[in-house]
């Protein structure tokens, strides 16, 4: 779980450096969702010494084509994404690894 917002729990992908500690960084997903490429970006940042978190802003949803991705982006309130990102930042900063 990658963050709390009241009674709502967020999910995401967390990659830790080999040292177990490091500066935190938030990796924002592309419009496709939290796909393997974004997880790989987190892993590469962890290899460089960062604690990398990619919050899942779509709740597990993955787009299969550009039309589907565009529709998801258009129907998503910006305030909801901003709230999720703020929760992810708070969650990451509260971790002992950061």
Question: Could you tell me the residue ranges of all domains in the chain?
Answer: 3-93
Enter the pTM of the model.
Answer: 0.84
Half-sphere CA count of 82, side-chain side, radius 13 A: 3
In which band, very low, low, confident or very high, does the pLDDT at 10 lie, cut at 50, 70 and 90? low
In which band, very low, low, confident or very high, does the pLDDT at 75 lie, cut at 50, 70 and 90? confident
Options 3.40.50.1820, 1.10.760.10, 3.60.15.10, 3.30.1310.10; CATH of 3-93:
3.40.50.1820
Q: Answer yes or no: is pLDDT of 88 > 60.
A: yes
């Amino acid at each position: 779980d990658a963050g709390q917002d009241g009674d709502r729990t967020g999910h995401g992908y967390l990659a830790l450096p080999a040292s177990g500690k490091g500066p935190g960084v938030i990796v924002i997903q592309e419009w496709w969702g939290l796909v393997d490429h974004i997880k790989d970006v987190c892993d590469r940042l962890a290899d460089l010494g960062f604690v990398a978190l990619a919050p899942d802003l779509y709740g597990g949803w993955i787009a299969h084509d550009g039309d589907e991705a565009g529709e998801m982006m258009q129907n998503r309130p910006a305030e909801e994404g901003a709230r999720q990102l703020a929760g992810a930042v708070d969650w990451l900063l509260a971790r002992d690894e950061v």
